[in-house]
Amino acid sequence: MLLSKTRPISYLKSNTAELAEELKNDQNDILITQNGAAAFVCVPIERYESNRQALALLRLLNMGKQEVEQGRHSDADAAMDELDQLFSPAR
């Protein structure tokens, strides 16, 4: 993550619209400080949504890994057969 800009919280308080426009146009994260220390990061919405989706995928992968480690899995052929049975038209 490239934090090319740092702004004090007072800037955020008095220039919120400008900060929002800056995020929209530059697509760079902005570090907000409070009393000289990093407090939080403002992130463009596109990157925030992308990061949330990536995190959700990582969580799913981790859940799958845990299920394999616990022996709760089946081979691909068995899984495909089960799906075929579930979704095949009723006879």
Q: Where are the domains of the chain?
A: 5-42, 45-73
| Distance between CA atoms of residues 63 and 81, nearest Å | 23
Half-sphere exposure of residue 32: CA atoms within 13 angstroms, side-chain side? 15
- Superfamily name with CATH number, domain 5-42: YefM-like domain (3.40.1620.10)
Per-residue confidence (pLDDT) for residue 74, from 0 to 100: 81
pTM score over 0.85: no
- For residue 77, pLDDT over 80 is answered with yes
Q: What is the dihedral of CA 19, 20, 24, 30, to 10 degrees?
A: 50
- For residue 88, pLDDT over 90 is answered with no
